[in-house]
Every structure is written in C-alpha cells, then in structure tokens.
Amino acid sequence: MSGLILGIETSCDDTSVALVDRAGHVAAIRTVSQFEIHEAFGGVYPELASRAHLEAILPTVQGVMEEASVTPADLTAIGVTRGPGLIGSLLVGLSTAEALSMAWDVPAYGVNHLRGHIRSVALESGRTEFPAVIMLVSGGHTLIAELKDAWSYRLLGSTRDDSVGESYDKVARMLGLGMPGGPAIDKAAKAGQPVLRLPRPMKNEAYEFSFSGLKSSVARHIEKHPEVSVEDMSASFVAACMDVLAAKADRALDACKPRSLVIVGGVAASPQLRDAMGKVAAKHGVELCLPPMKWATDNAAMIAMATWDYVERGLQPGLMPKPNLSLETP
Amino acid sequence: MTTGTSITLLLQASNGVPALALGRGDAIIFDSSTVEALAGSRDYRMLLETGLSEIGAELNDLSLIACDIGPGGLGVTRTAAAFANALGFALSLPILALPAFKLLGAEVAGHSNGSAKPVAILRRAARPHVHFGIYEPDATGGKLVHYEHCLEKSALEQIQNMDDYDLAGNIEVEGHASPVTNMAAMETMLKLALAAPTPAPEARAWPIVEVLE
Ligand SMILES: [Zn+2]
C-alpha cells in the first residue's frame, strides 16, 4: 500500500496534524500547543480548548501539506482521533476530517487515540518484539496492557481516578514548582531523598491503579509540615509512583511472559521511570522499548500510524466522537 | 465558478438541533429541518450529500457557505463551524458567519408584520448565566443592538425596563407570552446571507465563546 495518511489529533489540548507513510516515516508533522491558554485556569478548559482547536486546525493541515508538497490526491486516507478525549475537542477534529474527506474524496477513519499511543513505537523504524506488555503513562492515561501483536490488545488494568501525569501536575502545584509538573518534579526529586513515608496505593492489587489517595496524602503532609523540603517531598512522591508502576509491570511480565516491555506516554520522559522500568525489564530478561520522546506525548503521527492498521483491515469506524472509548475497541 | 447554478449552503446548529439547507438564488430548495427522517441527525456530511443529490447538484456548485456561530449549544455549534470551515478550505470558499441572535431577531421581526417592536432574545447558557440580546427592527430589516453573556437575573432586570417587545429564544419571561421561536427559518438565513457583504476569501466561522470567570 503506497501513499500517505493524514493524521489529525485533537483529543485534548494539542492540535496536531501529520503525514505518515506505511513504513512509519513521518513526512511532516505540526503540533500547536494550547499550554498558555490553559495555564491560567490550572487545567484544560474545555470550551477554550475546542475554540483553540478550531482556530489552529486548518492552518496546521495546510502547513503539513505544503511542507511535504502533498496534494489531496497523494492521500490514501485521513485518520482522526474519535476518542477517548474531550467531546468539544474531538468534535472539531472529526468534523474537519469529515468535510475534508467529502471535498477531497479521500476516506476518513475514526481512530482510537490509545491505539495511536501504542503504535507510536513503530514510527521512524521503531520496532516492538511481540508479544509485548505495554504501559501507557501520561497526563491523560495510565494503563497496562498485553499486546499479542500490533493489533490484538488485552487491557490488564487502568487507573480508577487520576492519571500519573495528572498527579504529577497537582503535586507540582502544591509544591509551587509550576507547570508542566512532570519535568519540574523530576528535577526537584533528583536533588532530594525519598525519606517521607507515602502510601503505595493498590500496589498489591493486580493491575488497577489509583493515584488520588497518594496526591491527598502529599497535600495532608504539606499542610501538617509546611516546612517540608520540596526536594525530599518530590523524591518521596516520585519513589511512591515508581514503586507502584514497577510492581504492576513486574506482575505483568511474570504473568504474560512477553518478549518486550514498551513504555509510552508523556511520563516516559521521566528519567526515574526509565530507570525503574529498565530494572524490571532486565530482571525478566525482556527488551525494554522506549520510543523517542517526540512521539511519547499526544501527536498526530501516532494517529496516522494507527490508521494504517484500520485501512489494511478494511475496518472503518465512523466519525462519531467516543469520549470514553476503551483500549479494546478498535 | 464554472457553473451558473450557484448554490448557497446554510448551516444552523446553535439551538441544539443541526440543520442544513441549500438555496438557489433567493429560494430555499432543500431544508433538512423539514424532512422528518433527517431532523435531529448530527451528521452534516450525510445531510449535505442528501441535499445535493436531491437537488441534482455537486459540491463544486456551492458559491457561498453561511454558518450560524451561536451563541448556543457548545458541541453542535463547534461541529457546524468546523465542518463549514474545512469545506470552505477544501473548496476555496469563504465562510459567512452569522450570529444566531441576528438570525432570531430578523426571524421574529419578520413575523410581526412591521409592528416594529424590539425583540428580546434569551438563550440558556451554563446556569445561572444566559445569553441576552436585543434586536431593533427598522425599515431595512433591523440590527442586533445589544448582546451579552450575563446572569439570568441581570438579563431579566433589563427586560423589565423595555416597554413592549417580542420574545425569542428558549427562556420564558414571567408575565410575557412564550418565546416566538428559538430557530430562524432557513428562508430568513438565506435572506441575511445574500444581503451581507461578501466575506473575505479566507473568512471562517468562529463560534461565540462562553467563558465563565
Ligand atoms: Zn494521549
């Protein structure tokens, strides 16, 4: 199959458009961040996110098409995130894709964003040895799944409340470290010691995660001991998160006996997470697969990459938004 | 434009129900809101494909796209604007953005046969807020002279100070007849679209945003 897929991603607060070929080569990608818009609100403000997507999306489509010297006739398909995500944001990408598909006479596929994260590993000649266990850890998601191959997934567990990335952001705010919280906490943690006792929520229970309790105990500790060292608190919080994530990965590698452990999502940028997962993988003798950071956060290249799977299977989910779409539904 | 059959595409959404119409000249020749099987569908592509095939036209026959930009239903207004904008982008057509309250004002003023009463327009926003507008009819049609996103209480106080008015939108006012309507007829929209100045080549629809402090 030749040609390019135009990927469109608007599930949360970044407007991203990319052109990707079957081999995973990214011909062009542009991502417009809404970080500054939402910073003032301390989180993503759905109405503004939707409006910002609307303003950014067509110039972004035009930008990647021009950059790669591509015309609609060069497109095999358009792939657009249909969920999970914020409804108002999803609708902008989906409606845009719908109109472009109609006017350009190119088929459009509604793609599962989570499948995009998983397929991000295959961008730019990345490889995964299957079967694999994958952990997706980001501001929007925390889940662990077994991949039988590039298409068949089994969800092992996901978070019952906050994602890891969300709790990083919230704790960063409590500690006055600013946004984005992940890198700020990682940096502070390196300068501190994990000396404070924090809970390891659900560590001993199969594959489900829960991080809101951990975040609350950090809040309680800061309230009781306002003099606490920011560095030590950061280090203790990170240690608690890593402890839980590593325990789940360890359990999954034991049970699934995969050939590789794949870590994707924005939190994969954390040196502490890379270190912790490296140890777990080494213990089980499986390959640790960490895609380049530029594909770890939400982006349209991963959506285009995932779209190829749908195209090849002739599976064309419609363009209806599915805010709560689960991993196991294509 | 290569064809003489220039068609105007009209999209409405902010009252919560997506509707799509096609006009040829100054006549509406397709209106999804009058087709029972289509009313309530959120699929603008299907509505447009159905309309075009019903009137025997093609996408390339479109010469103008007009889109209702609210204020109103968040999801559906964004859907209409995103669809209209992308269609305009792909077909190199500008988008004429029409505020919903201008449409509603013109609709109600048109009904009242020159009674020249102002139209008070109230639409539900996130409680306790509303969208509030006043439309003044005049010899040439009329204009929207006031719009704000405010507390319901404040809008009602302002309405109490108006002598006589027609009411539009989706909120009842105690002691006044029910709102005349919450949706302008596609004929009204087409009339406003044809009377509006030609939009700039890359004009797009930007929905009116409701942001709570
Ligand atoms: Zn994501």
Q: What is the pLDDT of residue A2?
A: 63
A169 is annotated as contributing to ligand binding = yes
Cβ atoms B69, B206 nearer than 8 A: yes
- Average pLDDT of the residues in A10-24: 95
Average pLDDT over residues A240-257: 97
Three-state DSSP class for residue A185: helix
Predicted pLDDT of residue A33: 87
User: Rounded CA gap, A48 and A329, in Å?
Assistant: 29
Residues with CB under 5 A from ligand 1 (ion): A 140, 298
Residue A325 lies in a domain: no
Per-residue confidence (pLDDT) for residue B1, from 0 to 100: 36
Tell me whether residue A71 is in a domain: yes
The DSSP secondary structure of A79-140, one letter per residue, reads: EEEEESS-HHHHHHHHHHHHHHHHHHT--EEEEEHHHHHHHGGGGGG---PSSEEEEEESSS
Mutate to test the interface with A, among B41, B78, B87, B149 (most CBs of A within 10 A): B78
Q: What pLDDT, on the 0 to 100 scale, is given for residue B29?
A: 97
Q: How far apart are the CA of A169 and the centre of ligand 1, in A?
A: 15
Residue at A279 is within a domain: yes
Cα A86-A89-A93 angle, rounded to 5 deg: 130
Alpha-carbon distance of A309 to A321, in angstroms, equals 20
pLDDT in tens, B110-149: 877 666 799 999 999 988 999 999 999 987 778 999 999 9
Q: What pLDDT score was predicted for residue A126?
A: 87
Residue B49 C-alpha, separation from nearest chain A C-alpha, in angstroms: 9
| Displacement of CA A8 from its chain's centroid (Å) | 15
A149 marked as binding residue: no
Q: How far is the CA of A140 from the centre of ligand 1 (A)?
A: 6
Write down the pLDDT at residue A140.
Answer: 87
Question: Looking at CA atoms only, how far is residue A58 from chain B in angstroms?
Answer: 7
Q: What is the mean pLDDT of residues B28-48?
A: 94
Residue A304 maps to a domain? yes
Confidence of residue B73 (pLDDT cuts 50, 70, 90): confident
Q: What is the pLDDT of residue B190?
A: 97
Measured between alpha carbons, how far is A162 from A215 in angstroms, rounded to an integer? 9
For residue A23, how far is the Cα from the chain centroid? 21
Within this chain, do residues A54 and A175 fall inside the same structural domain, yes or no? no
Say if residue A181's pLDDT is above 90.
Answer: no
Interface test with B, best of A58, A70, A102 (most B CBs within 10 A): A102
Question: Does the residue A330 lie in any domain?
Answer: no
Task: With respect to residue A284, please indicate whether it lies within any of the assigned structural domains.
Answer: yes
Residues A173 and A269 occupy one common structural domain: yes
A88 CB neighbours in chain B (<8 A) are 74-75, 78
Among residues of chain B, what percentage have pLDDT more than 70? 94
Residues facing A33 on adjacent strands: A14
For the segment B150-203, what is each residue's pLDDT rounded down to a tens digit?
999 999 999 999 989 999 999 999 999 999 999 999 999 999 999 999 999 999
Q: Does A69 lie in the same domain as A140?
A: no
Give domain limits for chain B: 7-100+184-195, 101-169
Phi first, then psi: give them for residue B176, nearest 5 degrees: -125, 155
Answer whether B126 touches A (CB < 8 Å).
no
Whether A112 and A8 map to the same domain: the answer is yes
pLDDT at position B74 is 85
Is A136 marked as binding a ligand? yes
Rounded to 5 degrees, what are φ and ψ at B31? -145, 105
pLDDT > 70: percent of chain A: 98
Q: Give the whole-number percent of chain A exceeding pLDDT 90.
A: 84
Was A161 annotated as part of a binding site? no
Question: Measured between beta carbons, which residues in chain A are less than 8 angstroms from residue B59?
Answer: 102-103
- A153-158 mean pLDDT: 96
Q: Is the peptide bond before B71 cis (omega within 30 degrees of 0)?
A: yes
C-alpha A158 – ligand 1 centre gap (Å):
14
Q: Rounded to whole angstroms, how far apart are CA atoms A284 and A132?
A: 13
Q: Is B45 close to A87, i.e. CB distance below 8 A? A: no
| Closest CA–CA distance from residue A320 to any residue of chain B (Å) | 9
Statement to judge: residues A78 and A147 lie in one domain: no
Q: Do domains B7-100+184-195 and B101-169 have the same CATH topology?
A: yes
**Which pLDDT belongs to residue B6?**
87
Do B31 and B21 meet the contact criterion of CB atoms below 8 Å apart? yes
Residues 6+ apart with CB under 8 A from B113: none
Cα separation, A237 vs A122, in Å, equals 32
Which residue in chain A has the smallest CA separation from B80? A95
Residue, of A266 and B193, whose pLDDT is higher: B193
Say what the pLDDT of residue A309 is.
97
Based on the fold, state whether residues A278 and A136 are members of the same structural domain: yes
Residue A303's pLDDT band, with cuts at 50, 70 and 90, is very high
B82 at interface of A, judged by CB pairs closer than 8 A: yes
The label of the residue with tokens 């539904």 reads: A329
More confident residue, A27 or A42: A27
Substitution target from A55, A91, A100 for chain B, most B beta carbons within 10 A: A91
pLDDT at B3: 42
A146 and A84, same structural domain?
no
DSSP element (H, E) containing A27: strand A26-33
Tokens of A17: 């458009």
Among A48, A64, A96, A105, the residue to mutate for chain B (most B Cβ within 10 A):
A96
CATH topology of domain B101-169: Nucleotidyltransferase; domain 5 (3.30.420)
**Are residue A230 and residue A98 in the same domain, yes or no?**
no
User: In total, how many domains does chain A have?
Assistant: 2
Query: Range with the lowest mean pLDDT among A231-245, B95-109, B134-148?
Result: B134-148
DSSP annotation of A7 reads: E
> The domain that contains A153 carries what CATH number?
3.30.420.40
Interface contact flag, A96 B79, Cβ < 8 Å: no
Q: Which residues form the domain of A69? A: 4-119+295-313
Q: What is the model's pLDDT at position B99?
A: 96
What pLDDT score was predicted for residue A35? 76
Q: What is the pLDDT of residues A96-124, one digit of tens each?
A: 999 999 999 999 999 999 999 999 999 99
Segment among A198-202, A299-303, B20-24, B137-141 with least mean pLDDT: B137-141
- Measured CA to CA, the distance from residue A253 to residue A285 in angstroms comes to 10
Is A137 part of any known ligand binding site?
yes
Instruction: Over range B24-46, report the average pLDDT.
Output: 94
Burial status of residue A70 (CB atoms within 10 A of its CB: 0-12, 13-18, 19 or more): middle
What pLDDT is attached to residue A46? 76
In chain A, residues with a C-beta closer than 8 Å to the C-beta of B75 are 87-88, 91
A73 touches chain B (CB under 8 A): no
Closest CA–CA distance from residue B122 to any residue of chain A (Å)? 20
Mean pLDDT value across chain A: 93
Residue B63: pLDDT band (50, 70, 90) is very high
Helix/strand/coil (H/E/C) assignment for every residue in chain B: CCCCCCEEEEEECCCCCCEEEEEECCEEEEEHHHCCCCCCCCCHHHHHHHHHHHHCCCHHHEEEEEEECCCCCHHHHHHHHHHHHHHHHHHCCCEEEECHHHHHHHHHHHHCCCCCCCEEEEEECCCCEEEEEEEECCCCCCEEEEEEEEEHHHHHHHHHCCCCCEEEECCCCCCCCCCCCCCCCHHHHHHHHHHCCCCCCCCCCCCCCCCCC
DSSP three-state, residue A209: strand
Residue A193 in domain: yes
Rounded distance, CA A109 to CA A80, Å? Answer: 6
**What pLDDT sits at residue A13?**
86
Question: SS3 of A18, please?
Answer: strand
Claim to verify: residue A38 and residue A175 sit in the same structural domain: no
Residue with tokens 């639409």: B123
Query: Nearest C-alpha of chain B: how many angstroms from A193?
Result: 40
- Chain B residues inside the 8 Å CB shell of A54: 78, 81-82, 85, 206-207
Question: Class for domain B7-100+184-195, per CATH?
Answer: alpha beta
Interface contact B53, partner A, CB < 8 A: no
A42 Cβ contact partners less than 8 Å away, ≥ 6 residues apart: A173
Asked whether residue A318 is domain-assigned, the answer is no
A205, two tokens:
């229970």
Strands (DSSP E) found in A266-322: 287-289
A63 reaches B (C-beta below 8 A): no
